[in-house]
Amino acid sequence: MNNIKLSWYPYTLDLKHPFNISINSRTTTPAVLVEMEYKGMVGYGEASLPPYLKETQKSVQLFLRKMDFSSYDDKTDLSSILSGIDNLFPGSNAAKASIDIALHDLVGKIKGLPVYKMYEIPKREMFTSYTIGIDSTEMILHKLEEAENFNYIKVKLGTGDDRKIINTIRTATDKPIFADVNQGWKNREEALDLTIWLYENNVLLIEQPFHKSNLKDTAWLNERSPIPIIADEAVQRLSDLDKIKNAYSGINIKLMKSTGISEAYKMIIRARQLNLKIMLGCMTETSCAISAAAHLSSLADWVDLDGNILINNDLFDGVKATQGKIIPNDLPGLGIKKIF
């Protein structure tokens, strides 16, 4: 058969610990896993669907049912296939990411190249942070033990107890910290006091301090902050960069927001032109989507790709930061193997 055959199945990611952030808490993440078969080869893809992004297993499956690759003569022409799909259907960023990731895996396998070589990205070992949610003192200390091999800690703030959380961490380690407020701060003067205090406590950056629509207070804080203020919820795709460029010092790029590898790469190029720093992040995901992101990791300033080590039921062997390091695999495509 001379067409791509697409199949998929819903899958529930089972989190090792309940994941608490300033706006919600959960113990699972819904996902949809995709298989793309062509000429005897299979590419794997994944849509991870944290509820706040509004896509569901049902909406992703409806999207996948509409996919038709028959009009593309060259099934390895990533840019025309992906832009064709993007132009046909609005939204559905994670669903598009599942197609983008599977197609990169497939094309890499057809060409015999790992994804990072397809983009001529240098291979470099990067250090990822280990994420600690909003937890009891006891659980924070337990998670810090789990993070023993990691050089960076990422911590969720925006609780009203932010100083207490950092003080707890500082009783156990002086490792540098990435602070993620998840839109939790309300008052800009208090935010500035806290930002300076965090800086004095070896916090390297602050992610999404205010509501994503509040560019005015964000710009005010960013002008005065001794450390970079990074956009996460405020940035999804390439077209968002110009809207936020004057309010932030950097962006957190995630494949599930960006519609996949192809646009994430374009966002990295554009962010550099705008003099914005780059964090490469993730949702809770299997080693499929984490390995996909790992191919871009050497282009980032900071890497937060620990989503696959926070779940109990990974389905793939791939890039896994058990020792705190991220380095892309040299096997063709994403460099992953299905293990169940």
Nearer to Mg ion, 252 or 291 (CB): 252
Supply the minimum distance, in Å, between the C-beta of residue 156 and Mg ion. Answer: 8
304 is an interface residue for Mg ion by CB under 5 A: no
Judged by CB under 5 A, the chain residues 58 through 117 that form the site for Mg ion are none
Nearer to Mg ion, 135 or 232 (CB): 232
207 is an interface residue for Mg ion by CB under 5 A: yes
Supply the minimum distance, in Å, between the C-beta of residue 279 and Mg ion. Answer: 9
Piece in contact with Mg ion (CB under 5 A), picked from 25-33, 76-84, 151-159, 227-235: 227-235
Nearer to Mg ion, 184 or 318 (CB): 184
Nearer to Mg ion, 55 or 105 (CB): 55
Contacts of 38 (CB under 8 A, 6+ apart): 3, 4, 5, 75, 106, 110
Supply the minimum distance, in Å, between the C-beta of residue 244 and Mg ion. Answer: 14
Nearer to Mg ion, 81 or 177 (CB): 177
Q: Which of 238, 265, 282, 317 is nearest to 50 (CA)?
A: 282
Pairing of strands 337-338, 25-38: unpaired
Residue/partner pairs of 198-203 with CB below 8 Å, 24 or more apart: 198/162, 198/166, 198/227, 199/225, 199/226, 199/227, 201/166, 201/170, 201/177, 202/174, 202/175, 202/176, 202/177, 203/166, 203/176, 203/177, 203/178, 203/179, 203/227
Contacts of 92 (CB under 8 A, 6+ apart): 55, 59, 60, 63
Walk across the sheet containing 5-20 and list its strands.
Answer: 5-20, 25-38, 41-48
Supply the minimum distance, in Å, between the C-beta of residue 254 and Mg ion. Answer: 8
Supply the minimum distance, in Å, between the C-beta of residue 256 and Mg ion. Answer: 12
Nearer to Mg ion, 100 or 232 (CB): 232
Supply the minimum distance, in Å, between the C-beta of residue 132 and Mg ion. Answer: 13
Nearer to Mg ion, 180 or 217 (CB): 180
DSSP H or E segment with residue 142:
helix 137-146
- Tell me the number of residues near Mg ion by CB under 5 A: 3
Q: Which of 326, 331, 303, 340 is nearest to 154 (CA)?
A: 303
Piece in contact with Mg ion (CB under 5 A), picked from 4-12, 82-90, 96-104, 231-239: 231-239
232 is an interface residue for Mg ion by CB under 5 A: yes
Supply the minimum distance, in Å, between the C-beta of residue 230 and Mg ion. Answer: 8
Nearer to Mg ion, 45 or 281 (CB): 281
Nearer to Mg ion, 180 or 306 (CB): 180
Q: Convert residues 166-205 into a mask of x (bound to Mg ion by CB under 5 A) and - (unbound).
A: --------------x-------------------------
Supply the minimum distance, in Å, between the C-beta of residue 327 and Mg ion. Answer: 23
Beta strands in the chain (DSSP E): 5-20, 25-38, 41-48, 126-127, 129-132, 152-156, 177-180, 203-207, 229-231, 250-253, 277-280, 302-303, 316-317, 325-326, 337-338
306 is an interface residue for Mg ion by CB under 5 A: no
Supply the minimum distance, in Å, between the C-beta of residue 119 and Mg ion. Answer: 25
Measured from each CB, the residue nearest to Mg ion is 232
Q: Residue 111: phi, psi to the nearest 5?
A: -85, -10
Q: Residue numbers of the site for Mg ion (CB under 5 A)? A: 180, 207, 232
